[in-house]
Amino acid sequence: MIGKGYEKRRLTEGEWQELVDEWLLTHPAGKRVLILPPDITRCYSYAGVITAYLYQKLNGRHDVFVMPAVGTHMQMTEEERSGFFPGVPAEIFLTHDWRTDNVSLGTVPAEFVARVTEGKYREPIEAAIDRRLVSGEFDTVISVGQVVPHEVVGMANYTKNLVVGLGGRDMINKSHMVSAFCNIETIMGNTDSPVRAIFDYVQKKWLDRLGITFFLTVTCENGADADLFGLYIGTERAAFEEASRLAAKVNVTRLKERAKRVVAYLAPAEFRSTWVGNKAIYRTRMAIADGGELLVLAPGVRQCGENDEVDRCIRTYGYSGTKRILEHYQNGDFEGLEMVSAHLIHGSTDGRFTITYATDPQLMSREEIEDIGFSWTDVRPLLEKYRPEERETGVYADEDGEYYFVKAPAVGLWRV
């Protein structure tokens, strides 16, 4: 493993480039190279910059391709690609479609799933992955991504980038349901979790032989950009463990007491749906007092799901509470879309605190927000009031009293 990280300061450009150069020197790439970064919803990951640097170093001597691990998210636009991956030409990008591009690796046995979930979930789970990772057409495969607290797996990335970001319907659906049954508040921020154990099984059983190298970042939000605090490179889990240890220090904020009011900002370039935007709920829910309020400033949100199928399902059932969603789940209403039922459970507070989504009514109306179970208000005057792009995460006060402001919910976890 090659890596370096700091708790109190960022890596300089020279430091992280030196780590990449060391790996390239000691691990000569093959003729055809495939780089697997996240998409724009991980805009604070530093993965776009690192992918662009890898392309710069490898292009000319190698045939380089980039395939964003979009999972179930919508494909990136040309403008998003050029902004997130500076200097990387459009013609080298490949697309992954989770519905059609996968081949099966095998099945994680029900007995194993039941054991790691302590009996809470007892179904077998098929592991599938994009066919181009196992076809032999690429000599070198590099997975680039951010380790950060996550609602499904505990700490994001490592094998998640492959079995979810480039994976198939069964693993995506059922891994989300495992997290719902096992309670995301016991999972978020932990290196080891039931879902991570399932991903580790897939890694040891089928993925190790592929020799994929992981470039794992640890970042913190810095205005509209990100600071890179750590970079760990390797094929083994040790790189993920080192990154997780650092992320637990720099990405988890512990409050002295739960806040009565939390205001979270969803930058429009990053968040276009409640599917992704609900990170404002997941990452702050353990910091909100009983009877408290969460205000989500969401000027770019214009839909519920990242694709039409998921969007329709969210609009049908809404964020209506764990009991009601489980009734529909047990009735088979989410068959083939279990990830949506998990998402609806994760985004429900079961009455513990209130959630108000502030949107632009020209993009998403009051009726649409209220129909899915949230309160609504117009975001436009609130952007003038809070000026979220100009302030940092922390405690503030207004005419209604003290509140805690979260600038970039996707980059951390807030709890007592």
Please report which helix (H) or strand (E) contains residue 279, including its range. Answer: helix 279-282
Chunk the chain into consecutive blocks of 10 residues (it has 416) and report each block's average pLDDT, rounded to whole numbers. Answer: 96 97 94 94 89 96 95 86 94 93 97 98 97 96 97 96 94 96 96 98 96 97 83 97 98 97 95 96 98 98 95 97 96 95 96 98 98 98 96 95 96 96
Q: What is the pLDDT of residue 269?
A: 87
Euclidean distance between CA atoms 274 and 314, whole angstroms: 9
Nearest CA to 253 out of 28, 33, 111, 408 is that of 408
Contact between 336 and 170 under an 8 Å Cβ cutoff? The reply is no
Q: What pLDDT digit, counting tens, does each position of 145-188 carry?
A: 999 999 999 999 999 999 999 999 999 999 999 999 999 999 99
Hey, what are 111's tokens?
């007995």
Q: What is the pLDDT of residue 140?
A: 97
3-state secondary structure 121-147: CCCCEEEEEEHHHCCCCCCEEEEEEEC
Hey, what are 53's tokens?
């640097």
Residue recorded with tokens 């636009």: 77
Q: What is the pLDDT of residue 162?
A: 96
Hey, what are 48's tokens?
């776009």
Q: What pLDDT digit, counting tens, does each position of 298-335 carry?
A: 999 999 999 999 999 999 999 999 999 999 999 999 99
Domains, the chain, with CATH or none: 2-250 (3.40.50.11440), 253-415 (3.90.226.30)
Euclidean distance between CA atoms 276 and 286, whole angstroms: 18
Q: What is the pLDDT of residue 223?
A: 67
Q: What pLDDT digit, counting tens, does each position of 270-302 carry?
A: 899 999 999 999 999 999 999 999 999 999 999
Q: What is the pLDDT of residue 394?
A: 96
In angstroms, how far is CA 268 from the centroid of its own chain?
16
